[in-house]
Structure 1
Amino acid sequence: MRIINVTDLTGEAFEAYGEVVVPARITTRVDRVARLENKRDHAEPNLFMVTTTTTSVPHRFDKMESHPDSSQTFLPFAATPILIAVALPGPDGQPNLSTLKGFLASGAGFSYRAGVWHLPLASLGEPVAAAGFMYEDGTPRDCVWADVEPVTLVRD
């Protein structure tokens, strides 16, 4: 079984997988805080609301999801930590577990790039409401799943 240590979410550490959206004290508008990707001309934007499931660390999983044709962005409405595990797609499109990393996002939003494999949205302790955004067309490629060798996320 693979064991991955979870670290705090930072823009630099998450760069290969997407962007971190950190709320900042701003006096003007800040544009393009995340790259929104849509690889299907006919897919429509979907701004949605979701509530996380809850989990704890250590957290064991053996499935990951991906959105091959759309980025997926989450903006949580609370600072409760959200558990993230991400992996880049391999040459066959399946999760490349050699690129697997685990993070905790506390008070920050995040945006997965199109095709990045990740866990379903889960928070530590209590459910968290979040706004989400992605492009969808109602076909199975909106969300695909893959079985992976069991992985356990731990925290020092």
Structure 2
Amino acid sequence: MTDRICLQPLTGEAFAPFGDVLEAAGAPDKIINQGFCGRYHDRATMDFAGGRAGISLFQAKPRRIPYQLDMMERHPEGSQAFIPMKMDPFLVIVAPDAGGRPGQPLAFITMPGQGVNYHRGVWHGVLTPLAEPGLFAVIDRIGDGPNLEEHWFDRPIEITDT
């Protein structure tokens, strides 16, 4: 595993193995509300084992690039969507599963207005805003039983923009 990863722009194609990019790109699927609103319909596949979907608000302290990735997590019982409540970019770090632990991570930076939905069981970094206030609406599984696995790396992986 490399100790340094360069950020890449977040695109639906590059992120598809890990989840859904949430954005209002292209023409809306439908025009509603007497022509005053475009609806971008059903943009994420939410998947929960038991429990129910809940909406929470997360406020995370901003981080800086270069960023030191020392831990990744996953949620085996449900997908998890992060929708920024400001137009500031944030880091999105994911990794394929490699025998029950994260494989080689990938690091993305969002464009203003993009959010993400991590599919159930996808290894991902923690919420990593780059600006204040770091406020996000989060849609995820609310229910009994454990739904968090963490993996700590032996040494941090540096995420850079160059």
TM range (shorter): 0.7 to 0.9
| Structure 2 match to 1:122 | 128
| Structure 2 match to 1:20 | 21
What residue ranges of structure 2 are gaps of 5+ in the alignment?
A: 32-37
Q: Report if aligned partners of 1:88, 1:117 keep a CA contact under 8 Å in 2.
A: yes
Counting aligned pairs with the same residue, the percent is: 29
Q: Report if aligned partners of 1:66, 1:144 keep a CA contact under 8 Å in 2.
A: yes
| Structure 2 match to 1:29 | 39
Aligned residues: 150
Instruction: Measure how far apart 1:130 and its partner are.
Output: 1.4
| Structure 2 match to 1:90 | 98
Q: Report if aligned partners of 1:58, 1:154 keep a CA contact under 8 Å in 2.
A: yes
For residues 151 and 20 of structure 2, the distance between their equivalents in structure 1, rounded to whole angstroms, comes to 23
Matching of residue 69 in structure 1 with residue 80 in structure 2? no
Give, as a single letter, the amino acid of the residue that structure 1 aligns with 2:20.
E
Q: Report if aligned partners of 1:53, 1:121 keep a CA contact under 8 Å in 2.
A: no
Matching of residue 51 in structure 1 with residue 56 in structure 2? no
For residues 6 and 13 of structure 1, the distance between their equivalents in structure 2, rounded to whole angstroms, comes to 12
Larger Rg: 2
Q: Report if aligned partners of 1:47, 1:132 keep a CA contact under 8 Å in 2.
A: yes
For residues 138 and 5 of structure 1, the distance between their equivalents in structure 2, rounded to whole angstroms, comes to 38
| TM-score, scaled to structure 2 | 0.85
Instruction: Measure how far apart 1:127 and its partner are.
Output: 2.5
Instruction: Measure how far apart 1:144 and its partner are.
Output: 1.7
| TM-score, scaled to structure 1 | 0.88
CA deviations 1:69-104 (Å, max 9, x no partner) are 21100111112111111012222x21112xx10011
TM-align CA RMSD = 1.6
| Structure 2 match to 1:11 | 12
Q: Secondary structure at the match of 1:13?
A: helix
Q: Secondary structure at the match of 2:62?
A: strand
Q: Secondary structure at the match of 1:78?
A: coil
| Structure 1 match to 2:117 | 111
Moved >3 Å (runs of 4+): none
